[in-house]
Chains A and B, each alone.
Chain A
């Protein structure tokens, strides 16, 4: 398993002349879990989308500073190769095709044509186990209509990313549609997976953030673009009263 590094140095981003990110700098390397925390609408999702070059193409974006993956600026990457290495899983889960196999086998065939049929199926079943879908999905030929609940679709979308085995997974609110009983096993699965790859989690879920190795806290003061106001372990970021915004975020409820 090759590992990935993401590097931002004084990175700023504007959308249609509105400041979204301002002077953000951090380095992510190797493996482990990194939570990106901020209030809604601060630009967390935009940040990870910009890493995978998935910004909405109807908006005029303007960037400044350095955003590099494996030492190479993302603008110089082949977008497809970049997205296969640093994969973004959107918050809104969309399943496609007619069957579960269309979601778990077909993308593998397209991204990893070298995999044998047996490997494709084995990886699909492994992802189903990892995402706690084994009780709902007994057969890969099951119609996707039978996996219709929001939480099920979110887990199927996660499984679809897992089977592709990227070096880095960027999960946007991965537990937002899950019930309490489904969250813990999935969190454990994500943490287990983070032993061998980098997992970036955009979340409001403070319980999940506290289980991560590292927390990045963004804050947008006076609409001048979100800045990175804290970077460290969950204890360092969320429980330090001198860090005003993260501390308030942690103790708001």
Chain B
């Protein structure tokens, strides 16, 4: 068992750099990066740039993150503040966090798309992504708050603060950096989501014009290039490089803060 685990780990460690190299080598065969990043797609998406997909990615992911944080912070606080700290509630949150994205996509397209009549649109994509992210963030926030709870809640109580004051004025500010990191990781995850958004926000070539119109993100475009457009492999790799660069850009403050903490 241990050997199997060790071999798997070894394979993973050696395979990861090769995968990264494969994406970079295949993905950097772009004639003009400026045109590719800032240009509009042509010939049904087989030529031209990817600018609308970059805009769409942020236009869908950012509202979803804001909504998910708005749901996850009170949920995590409520969970921590209730004396029972119910096992059922925590299990439900963790279950929500581990539901595959494709399942969220199917559920989102059925509920928001069909039942609420939003159809395949940016709104359906945003709401589905919110449902996907909220439990992941809530689970992370609960863990971040748990760490600080043991240390700071007795202090707040001893000072005669109410539970609400202790949580919002002492514990939440202390836990904020860890929660910010969870949001950053969630942002990166949401940007690279293709399965749920393909089924809910759709796959078009244009820039997002309204919430009830479909809009394609970078990750969905990669999927489209591979599944729907013949010979789209090279373009998919190139979009992957852009997506990877964006994710690294988002993660940079996280990496820098870790380096800073080590000093």
Number of A-B contacts (CB under 8 A): 49
Q: Is the CB of B155 within 8 A of A52?
A: no
Instruction: List the A side residues contacting B165 at CB < 8 Å.
Output: 110
* CB-based contact A94/B151 at 8 Å: yes
Residues of B within 8 A of A211 (CB): none
Stretch at the interface among A62-70, A134-142, A158-166, A177-185: A158-166
Distance in angstroms from B28 CB to nearest chain A CB is 43
Q: Which of A4-12, A79-87, A190-198 contacts B (4 or more CB under 8 A)?
A: A79-87
Count residues of chain B with CB under 8 A from any CB of chain A. Answer: 16
Q: Is B115 an interface residue (CB 8 A)?
A: no
Q: Which residue of B lies closest to A106 (CB)?
A: B169
Shortest Cβ gap from B131 to chain A (Å): 34
- Report yes or no: A164 in contact with B174, Cβ–Cβ below 8 A: no
- Please tell me the number of chain A residues within 8 Å of chain B, measured between CB atoms: 24
B159, A90: Cβ atoms closer than 8 Å:
no
Residue of chain B at shortest CB distance from A96: B170
Interface check A111, CB cutoff 8 A: yes
B161 interface residue per 8 A CB criterion: yes
Residues from chain B with Cβ under 8 Å of A98 in the complex: 173
The answer for the CA separation of A80 and B160 in the assembled complex, in Å, is 5
Instruction: Give the contacting residue for A96; candidates B152, B157, B160; CB below 8 A.
Output: B152
Known interface pairs A83-B158, A164-B160, A166-B160; A57-B83 also in contact (CB < 8 Å) = yes
**Bound Cα distance A161, B155 (Å):** 11
A98 and B173 CA atoms in complex are apart in Å by 9
Q: Does A88 contact B (CB under 8 A)?
A: yes
Q: Of B152, B160, B173, which one neighbours A83 at CB under 8 angstroms? A: B160
A38 at the interface (CB under 8 A from B): no
Q: Which residues of B contact A186 (CB under 8 A)?
A: none
Cβ A88 vs Cβ B174 within 8 A: no
B114 at interface by CB-CB < 8 Å: no
Contacts of B158 in A (CB 8 A): 52, 54, 83, 87-90
Q: Which residues of A contact B169 (CB under 8 A)?
A: 106, 110
Query: Could you tell me the distance in whole angstroms from the C-beta of A54 to the nearest C-beta in chain B?
Result: 6
Q: How far is the CB of A52 from chain B (nearest CB, A)?
A: 7
Residues of A within 8 A of B154 (CB): 54, 90, 94
Chain B residues with Cβ under 8 A from A111's Cβ? Answer: 159-161
B162 within 8 A of A: yes
Residues of chain A within 8 A (CB-CB) of B160 are 80-81, 83-84, 87, 111, 164, 166
Q: Interface 1/0s, chain A 104-122, versus B by CB < 8 A?
A: 0011001100000000000
Query: Which residue, A54, A87, A107, A111, has most C-beta atoms of chain B within 10 A?
Result: A107
Cα(A84)–Cα(B156), bound, Å: 11
B83 near A96 with CB under 8 A, answer no
Hey, which chain B residues are within 8 Å of A87, CB to CB?
158-160
Q: Are A54 and B157 in contact (CB under 8 A)?
A: yes
Sample of 12 further A-B pairs with CB below 8 A, known A83-B158, A111-B159: A54-B154, A54-B157, A80-B160, A80-B161, A83-B159, A90-B154, A97-B173, A102-B173, A107-B159, A107-B161, A111-B161, A161-B159
CB-defined A-B contacts under 8 Å, sample of 22: A54-B157, A57-B83, A80-B160, A80-B162, A90-B154, A90-B155, A90-B158, A94-B151, A94-B154, A94-B155, A96-B155, A96-B170, A97-B173, A97-B174, A98-B173, A102-B173, A107-B159, A110-B165, A111-B159, A111-B161, A160-B159, A164-B160
Closest 10 CB pairs of A and B: A84-B160, A83-B160, A88-B158, A94-B155, A110-B165, A96-B170, A107-B159, A80-B162, A110-B161, A96-B152
